[in-house]
Amino acid sequence: MPAARRWKDRLQAQRRPLILVGVAGLLALVGGGWLAGHWGVEETDNAQLQAHLVEISSRLPGTIQAVPVQDNQAVQAGQLLVLLDPRDARAAWVRAQADLLEARQQASAMRSQTQSSASDAAAAEDQATGDRLMARAELDRAGAELRRLEFLLRQGGAARQDVERARATYRKAQGQVSRSEASALLATASARKVTVEQQKAAAAAARVHQAEAALQEAALRLSYTRIQAPSAGRIGSRSAEPGRQVQPGQPLMTVVAPHPWVEANFKETQLDALRPGQPAEVGIDAFPGRRLHGHVVSVAPASGARFALLPPDNATGNFTKVVQRVTVRIDLDDVPPALAPRLLPGLSATVRVRRP
């Protein structure tokens, strides 16, 4: 027994250094692996998946007639989400069409009347001009004849009766001149009337443009009764129900875009190692063991505290230094198609970025 025990003790003594060497080698291997994986790497677990969330609301008050989509349903851009009762908007559209037709007819009548008045005024002006020229010519001729006869009467070569007849003719020519002047004034008044009618025609044309704009607005309001998806995505937070009264801006549902990104909040002491374009490794807590690859897109222009609703004010003198966080956007590259629909905004993530 003593010999066996001594042999056993000797064997254990020989094994002890081997065990120590093995443990040291294992620790060195684990430490080397940890250093290889973490040396020169900036990491944060303060990260979440984000995506564009488009809040769907109505642009006009009304009553919901139909909601052809359900929560979590995938939709395409332009797909009908909510249908409002269109009867009021359609009646306004029909009324706007009738107003436009009436405005066009009035404008057409005013154009025709203006053109007719312009033609009449031009003819009256031409006639007045001709009458004035003829009257003045006749007045000049009658005046010359009267002066000739008066000269002959003083010389005894003409009868007084001829002179009196010439004077009557001259006075008649003067009356014709006065009448032609009055006709010219009437033609001028007609021309001014044409100007007024042209202004009325321009006002009627303006009313046509107003009616056209009103019709476009009515058509636009009618189109607003069909609320469509602005982009592809999935429906969430659906609160719209048929028969419900809605007001402009009231949330009805949310469309979640299908392409998420990661917002990682790094400490301010890590910013020196972050540059746009750097490759990044993303782990999603909901899918342990899965690693996604992406790249740094941008770094926020201020810390998260500056964007808070109530930024901290350190002017009171009670200052405690807190390490600030800065948001870094990371876009995902080559997401597996089977995993893409399961990457939901709000999921927690871990981000690793290797120093340049």
User: Do 59-84+225-248 and 87-223 share a fold?
Assistant: no
Torsion sign over Cα 197, 199, 201, 204: negative
Pairing relation of β-strands 74-75 and 41-50? unpaired
pLDDT band (50, 70, 90) for residue 190 = low
Q: Provide CATH code, domain 59-84+225-248.
A: 2.40.50.100
Return the SS3 of 316: coil
pLDDT (0 to 100) of residue 34:
43
Look at the domain 87-223 and name its fold. Helix Hairpins (1.10.287)
Nearest Cα to Cα of residue 177 among 142, 207, 211, 150: 142
329, exposed or middle or buried, with CB in 10 Å at 0-12, 13-18, 19+?
A: middle
pLDDT for 110: 83
Report CA 125 to chain centroid distance, whole Å: 55
Q: Whole-angstrom Cα distance, residue 228 to residue 288?
A: 37
DSSP classification of residue 350: E
- Side-chain-side CA neighbours of 102 within 13 Å: the count stands at 9
Q: Is the pLDDT of residue 76 over 80?
A: yes
The mean predicted confidence, pLDDT, of the chain is: 83
Q: Would you say residue 174 has pLDDT above 90?
A: no
Burial 118-142 (b: 16+ CB within 10 A, else e): beebeebbeebeebbeebeebbeeb
Better-scored residue on pLDDT, 9 or 200: 200
Q: Which two tokens stand for residue 39?
A: 């040396």
Give the mean pLDDT of 116-123: 68
Which stretch of 189-193, 195-199, 236-240 has the lowest confidence by average pLDDT? 189-193
- State residue 322's pLDDT score: 81
Sequence-distant (6+) residues with CB within 8 A of 155 are none
- pTM score, whole prediction: 0.67
**CA distance linking residue 210 with residue 106, whole number of Å:** 13
The region of weakest confidence among 46-50, 77-81, 271-275 is 271-275
Q: Is the pLDDT of residue 100 over 80?
A: yes
Strands lying side by side in the sheet with 80-84: 226-228, 80-84, 62-66, 245-246
Position with higher pLDDT, 292 vs 4: 292
- Structure confidence at residue 334 as a pLDDT band (50, 70, 90): confident
Would the pLDDT of 229 be above 90? yes
Helix (H) or strand (E) holding 107: helix 87-155
Q: What's the rounded Cα separation, in Å, for the pair 146 and 157?
A: 14
The average pLDDT across 48-55 equals 95
> Residue 9: what pLDDT?
59
Domain boundaries, the chain: 59-84+225-248, 87-223
Residue predicted with more confidence, 12 or 245:
245
Mean pLDDT of 163-177: 76
For 347, the 3-state DSSP assignment is coil
Q: What is the model's pLDDT at position 21?
A: 58
% of the chain beyond a pLDDT of 70: 78
The pLDDT tens digits of the residues spanning 120-147 come to 667 667 676 776 778 777 777 777 776 7
For the segment 300-307, the average pLDDT, to the nearest whole number, is: 85
pLDDT recorded at residue 282: 95
Residue 33's pLDDT band, with cuts at 50, 70 and 90, is: very low
